[in-house]
């Protein structure tokens, strides 16, 4: 939708309520629900933001009496929450085979458990997040059963226990990680489900593929560490006297090169050593774009993708640091010496192939 602001010098007065009533229109209600649910706007500020956008973007004046109050905004947020629960409940009752996905994480020293449902029709529905005091199997089972009970409580015109058992009957699979707590959760949930329904039918247990990919990253570190121990020579910067005090037994040369090269040439390196702007200018002169990314050790795919990029840019990295940077600091010299190493480049090829064949397509 386009607006000709030049022809709207004078602001238009607009009401957001239905004619001759105190009820807001459906568009206003949906706007507030999305602001709180998707944009994480507080209920107190919804009306203020609507007023600011109306005045500056659409050149429209809205009477302060027509703006939704904090109480109204929170009421509409609750309405959206109930509608989302109703959608999940209907999916549970209408689908005969549903998988429950559960996973835990920690944010700001607070344990959080998230749930999702995947139906036999291909729907993937988020059930939100729940804060827990501790992440053990009994707590996880209670949280999951309470979730189903809340969904069943929506059907006040029907027997709640019957609805709850129907949902539990249609829940035939659990997906989780391979940790010991989640294995105990699967077993405990399955037993409680069978006792509640009075059946002997076991559920299917699935494990998230992402944890296999996490294993690839951690195991590759061990492989390259053993590989370096069997070499008869130091590779990369490790063969130089001036870098001896920086040598570390906990980090192999391949992973060190990935980390330091991304710090120097990546889009978010450290301020002291980064030369991203000059590197991008050099790539532009070569009629190509830099594919070197940010390094984040806790992201399994980052290592493999960065390795492929460093092998692709190897000759350019050497030329750039060797011939075009007037004065290199110690970290930049480290990247240059590692980039020159054929042995380290072989490691980049091996990790890069994993990116092209396994982690990238995933």
Domain chopping of the chain, boundaries: 10-68, 81-207, 212-359
Please report, for the chain, how many H helices and E strands are present, in that order.
13, 7
Q: How big is the chain, counted in residues? A: 362
Give the residue-averaged pLDDT of 316-345: 93
Residue 227: closest CA among 346, 310, 357, 336: 346
pLDDT of residue 1: 40
d(CA 130, CA 87): 19
d(CA 351, CA 261): 15
Which neighbouring-strand residues pair with 17? 24
Please tell me which of 8-17, 58-67, 266-275 the model is most confident about, judged by mean pLDDT.
Answer: 58-67
Read off the tokens for 43.
């209920």
pLDDT digits (tens, 9 = 90+) for 90-128: 999 999 899 999 888 777 778 899 999 999 888 899 898
pLDDT digits (tens, 9 = 90+) for 161-185: 899 999 999 999 999 887 788 889 9
What b-and-e string marks burial along 68-100, b requiring 16 or more CB atoms within 10 Å of the CB?
beeebbbebbeebeeebbeebbebbbebeebbb
Read off the tokens for 189.
């949930």
The pLDDT of residue 253 is above 60: yes
Domain 81-207 part of CATH 3.30.420: yes
> pTM higher than 0.85 for the full model?
no
pLDDT of residue 138: 93
d(CA 271, CA 312): 25
- Give the CA distances from residue 152 to residues 90, 131, 141, 175, 188, in Å, rounded to whole numbers and listed in that order: 10, 21, 17, 22, 21
For residue 232, count other CB atoms closer than 10 A to its CB.
4
């Amino acid at each position: 939708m386009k607006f000709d602001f030049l022809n709207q010098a004078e602001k238009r007065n607009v009401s957001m309520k239905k004619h001759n009533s105190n009820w807001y229109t459906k568009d206003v209600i949906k706007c507030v629900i999305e602001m709180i649910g998707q944009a994480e706007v507080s209920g107190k500020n919804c009306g203020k933001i609507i007023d600011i956008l109306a005045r500056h973007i659409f050149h429209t004046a809205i009477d302060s009496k027509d703006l939704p109050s904090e109480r109204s905004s929170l009421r509409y947020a609750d309405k959206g929450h109930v509608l989302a629960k109703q959608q999940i409940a209907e999916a549970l009752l209408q689908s005969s085979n549903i998988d429950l996905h559960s996973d835990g994480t920690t944010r700001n020293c607070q344990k959080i458990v998230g749930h999702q449902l995947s139906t036999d029709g291909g729907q993937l529905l988020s059930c939100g997040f729940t804060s827990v005091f501790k992440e053990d199997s009994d707590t996880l089972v209670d949280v999951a059963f309470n979730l189903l009970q809340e969904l069943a409580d929506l059907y006040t015109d029907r027997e709640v226990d019957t609805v709850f058992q129907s949902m539990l009957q249609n829940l035939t699979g659990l997906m989780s990680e391979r940790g010991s707590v989640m294995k105990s959760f699967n077993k405990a949930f399955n037993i409680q489900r069978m006792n509640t329904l009075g059946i002997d039918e076991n559920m299917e247990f699935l494990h998230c593929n992402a944890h296999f990919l996490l294993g690839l990253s951690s195991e590759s570190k061990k492989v390259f560490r053993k590989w370096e121990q069997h070499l008869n020579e130091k590779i990369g910067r490790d063969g130089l006297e001036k870098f001896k005090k920086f040598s570390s037994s906990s980090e192999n040369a391949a992973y060190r090169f990935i980390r330091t090269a991304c710090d120097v040439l990546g889009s978010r390196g450290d301020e002291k050593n980064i030369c991203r702007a000059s590197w991008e200018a050099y790539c532009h002169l070569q009629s190509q774009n830099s594919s070197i990314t940010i390094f984040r050790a806790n992201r399994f795919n980052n290592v493999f993708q960065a390795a492929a990029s460093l092998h692709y840019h190897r000759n350019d990295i050497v030329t750039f640091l060797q011939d075009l940077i007037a004065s290199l600091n110690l970290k930049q010299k480290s990247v240059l010496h590692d980039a020159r190493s054929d042995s380290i480049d072989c490691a980049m090829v091996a990790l890069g192939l994993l990116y092209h064949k396994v982690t990238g397509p995933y």
